[in-house]
Amino acid sequence: MPREFFRADRVGDAIQRYLANMIQQEIRDPRVGLVNINSVTVSRDMAYAKVYITLVGGTETSGRESAEVLNNASGFLRTLLAKELNMRTVPRLQFYYDHTSVRGQELSSLIDRAVAADKAKGGDEDS
């Protein structure tokens, strides 16, 4: 059975590809830094697109600041997207800082510390 692909998913993937290049080449604000676009969620009516970003080598506060700068430049990025996408209307862009990768690293380090503490107590025997 073939998998169904919804138009909103395809549009989100295209927006993610184009935005990755546009942010890198067109946005000159030093507060943005190296931005990764984790995902783009487009509403069913194609009116809004939520863009989730993380900052490479940055803190959560600098990531939120980068999202704010990108929200201020969202109109400019939307006009650039309109030139690339063959759509009647281009979704309005809303940028959000995605803290899931930072949280995942914190949880991973907690698990590693728990395993190391278990081994130190002598719990490395197989049950």
Convert the pLDDT of each residue in 12-61 to its tens digit.
999 999 999 999 898 888 888 888 899 999 998 899 999 999 888 777 78
In a domain, 124, yes or no: no
pLDDT of residue 127: 47
The CATH number of whichever domain residue 49 belongs to comes to: 3.30.300.20
Residue 71: name the closest of 101, 47, 91, 51 by CA.
51
> With bands split at pLDDT 50, 70 and 90, how would you rate the model's confidence at 75?
very high
In a domain, 122, yes or no: no
In a domain, 71, yes or no: yes
In a domain, 120, yes or no: no
In a domain, 106, yes or no: no
pTM: 0.77
> With bands split at pLDDT 50, 70 and 90, how would you rate the model's confidence at 63?
confident
Give the residue with greater pLDDT, 84 vs 4.
84
What's the domain count of the chain?
A: 1
In a domain, 77, yes or no: yes
CA atoms within 13 A on the CB side of 121: 7
92 by Cβ neighbours in 10 Å (0-12 / 13-18 / 19+) ranks as middle
**Which whole number is the average pLDDT over 106-117?**
88
Edge-first strand listing for the sheet containing 48-55: 35-42, 48-55, 92-97
How many CB atoms sit inside 10 A of residue 35's CB? 24
In a domain, 39, yes or no: yes
In the chain, pLDDT over 90 holds for what percent of residues? Answer: 42
Which two tokens mark 16?
A: 């993610």
What's phi and psi for 92, nearest 5 deg? Answer: -75, 135
Owning domain of residue 14: 7-99
In a domain, 2, yes or no: no
CA distance 65 to 85: 28
